Amino acid sequence: MSSADTRLQVMWNRLLAVVEEQGQALIRAAFSPIVRECGDISAGIFDLQGRMLAQAVTGTPGHINTMAEAVKTLRGRFPIQDMKPGDIYLTNDPWIASGHLNDFLLMMPVFFRDHVVGFTSCTSHLVDLGGLGMGPEGADVYDEGLLIPPCKLMDEGTLNTLLMEIVKANSREPVANEGDIYALIACCETGAERLAGMMDEFGIDHLDELADHIIDTSYRGTVEAIAELPKGTWHTVLKVDGYEQEIDLHAALTIGEDHVELDFAGTSGLSNKGINVPLNYATAYSVFALRCIIGPDIPNNAGSLEPFRVTGPKNCILNAQPPAPVAMRHTLGQMTPDLVYGCLSQVLPESVPAEGASCMYDLPLRHTPEAFSRGDEQFALELVFSGGTGARPGLDGLSATAFPSGVWGSQVETTEAVAPVLITRRELIPDSGGPGRTRGGLGQHIEVRSSQGEDFMVFLSVERVVNPARGRQGGGAGSPGRIRIGHDGSDLPGKGEVRVKAGETLLFETPSGGGFGDPQQRSRDEVRRDLDEGLISREAARDIYGFEP
C-alpha cells in the first residue's frame, strides 16, 4: 500500500470514529426511551454529491439504508448555492425518509473554509405525531399523523419555531418530541463539527479524493464478492400472517457478474390497514440481508450498496404508493430478510441461517380515549421486545435478540418510570427455539399491567403468530408468538387495538427462531448445556434430541 493510500485509509478510519460519536450524541440527548434505550436511530456522513461515506454502527437498517437514498433526494431539492452555515433540513415523508411518519430525517450541510464540503444526516423515531397514532388502523397516511414535506428546520442557526410548535401541537407527547428534535439537531451539529475538525487536522480542503477512495474500494470489494457466487435466478415465497388475511411475499433473486437484483413481482397487493411498506423501506432491509452474506466485512456506504437493486410492482404490499397507510411498515418490511434468504439458501445452503422471529414485537401503548375526561394520566409509549433469531449453520440462534432491526429491547425499569404500567414478568420460554443441529433462539414471555388502576390501549401489529419461523436443512420450526389477556384468556390476533382493563394482565410471547440441520446431529455436550441452563426440558432432550440425561 502506498503512503497516499495509507493516508486515505487513516482518514477513512477517522471518519468511522466521527460518525460513531455523532450517533452517540443523538442517543445521549434523546428524550424518548425507544431512542435513548433502544437505539432506534441512524447517523451518517455524506460527500458533496450526497453519497453516504460512513454510518454509525448503532442504528437500524431501516433508518440507515433509507437515509443513504434520502440525502440524495434532499440534496437535489435544495440548491448548494443557497445553503448557509447553520442550515438544517427536515422531512418525515415516508417515501423519502424511512417509511412512516414517526421517523424524522435531518440533513445538515457541512461548511469548511466557507464552502459546503459534505453533509451530516440522522434519523430517529418520534413516539407520537397525532392522528390515530402508532398502530395499523389508519385507512390512509393522513389518518396516521402529521406529514412534513422537505423544509428548513434551522435557518443559519435559527430554529423554525413555527414548525416546532406545529409538531408539538399535533402530538400527545409534545415535550418528548421537542427534546428528540433537539437531539437530532445536536447529532447533525456534532458530526459537522467533528468532520470539519478532521479536515483541518489532515490539511485537506475537500472530501473528493477520500470519498472516491471509500466508494471505489467498497464497490470493487462488493463486486468481487458477487463474482464468486453462482449465477442465475432463484425464486421463493414467504407466507406471513397479514391483517385481514394471510399474505404471500414473492421474491426472485438474480445474481449477475457484477450486481444482484431482487424483484417482488407476484407479491400480494395492498392491505386496507397500515401494514403496507414503501419500497425504500423494503429495499433497506432486503439489501441489508444480502450484505450480511455477500461481502459482510466491507463497510456499509454508497459503494457497497451500489451493486444491489430492488424492484417491485407498484402497489404490491412491498411497494406501497401514497397515500397508502404505512404506520406499521416494519411489520412486513422486517420480514424481507427471511424472504431474501429463502432465495439465497438455494445458492449458499451452508451459509444462510434459518428463519427467525424477524418482525420485532413493537407494542405502542397509550391512554384510553376517555382518559382526559376521567382525569386519568395521558401518555404514549412504544415498547420493543424481540423474539429469537434463526439458527446459523455453525452457531445457535440468539435468544430475545432483534434481527434484522438490531433495536435493543425496552428496559423494565425505564418503562415503569415513564408510563403508568408495571412489567411483572419477563423470561425466556424453554423449548421454544426450533430444534436442529444448531438450535433456534428462544422467544420470551412478558406480562404487563396498569400500575395505577386505569385502563390502557395496546396497538398490535406483529407477525409469526400464525406462521412461525421455518427451519432449514432438516431443522424444526420455531414457536409462534402468542398474545392474550390473562392466563386463561383466549389468544388474540396479531393485529388490532386491544384495551387492557384495570386489574387485567397483558401476556405476550415473542416467536422463536427455526433450527438448522437434523436435531439428532446436535452435539451431546450442547444438549446437556441447554438442559443445565433450562433452555430445553428433559422431555425435549429425550424425544427430540435423543439424549438421556
Query: Domain residue spans in the chain?
Result: 3-219, 353-549
For 467-523, the pLDDT digits (tens) are 999 999 999 999 999 999 999 889 999 999 999 999 999 999 999 999 999 999 999
Cβ partners under 8 Å of residue 502, min gap 6: 450, 453, 454, 455
HEC string of 389-403?
Answer: CCCCCCCCCCCCCCC
Percent pLDDT > 70 in the chain is: 100
Task: Compute the average pLDDT of residues 110-138.
Answer: 95
Whether the pLDDT of residue 89 is over 90: the answer is yes
Least confident among 157-161, 283-287, 363-367, 420-424: 363-367
Least confident among 15-29, 128-142, 300-314, 360-374: 360-374
Whether the pLDDT of residue 373 is over 80: the answer is no
CB contact at 8 A, 99 and 330: yes
Instruction: Assign 515 to helix, strand or coil.
Output: coil
Position 133 scores a pLDDT of 85
Cα distance from N-terminal residue to C-terminal residue, the chain: 57
Position 377 scores a pLDDT of 79
The HSE-up count of residue 213 (CA atoms within 13 Å, CB side) is 15
Give helix 174-202 / helix 3-29 axis angle, nearest 10°. 160
Respond yes or no on whether the N-terminal peptide bond of residue 404 is cis (omega within 30° of 0).
yes
Mean pLDDT taken over the chain: 95
| Burial class of 358 by CB neighbour count within 10 A (0 to 12, 13 to 18, 19+) | buried
Give helix 161-169 / helix 174-202 axis angle, nearest 10°. 140
For 49-78, the pLDDT digits (tens) are 999 999 998 899 999 999 999 999 999 999
Whether the pLDDT of residue 233 is over 90: the answer is yes
* Total Cβ atoms within 10 A of residue 474: 15
* Total Cβ atoms within 10 A of residue 357: 39
Number of H helices, E strands in the chain: 14, 19
Cα separation, 538 vs 351, in Å, equals 31
Rounded to the nearest 5 degrees, what angle is found at the Cα of 178, between the Cα atoms of 175 and 184?
A: 140
Q: Which residues is 354 bridged to in the sheet? A: none
Task: Read off the C-alpha cell for 518.
Answer: 437434523
Cα separation, 430 vs 20, in Å, equals 37
Task: Compute the average pLDDT of residues 26-53.
Answer: 94
Task: Compute the average pLDDT of residues 450-465.
Answer: 94
Percent pLDDT > 90 in the chain is: 90
Position 87 scores a pLDDT of 98
Cα separation, 368 vs 494, in Å, equals 20
Task: Compute the average pLDDT of residues 445-450.
Answer: 96
Whether the pLDDT of residue 1 is over 70: the answer is no
H-run or E-run covering 282: helix 279-293
Position 462 scores a pLDDT of 96
From residue 24, alpha-carbon distances to 19, 125, 421, 489 in Å are 9, 15, 28, 42
Position 381 scores a pLDDT of 87
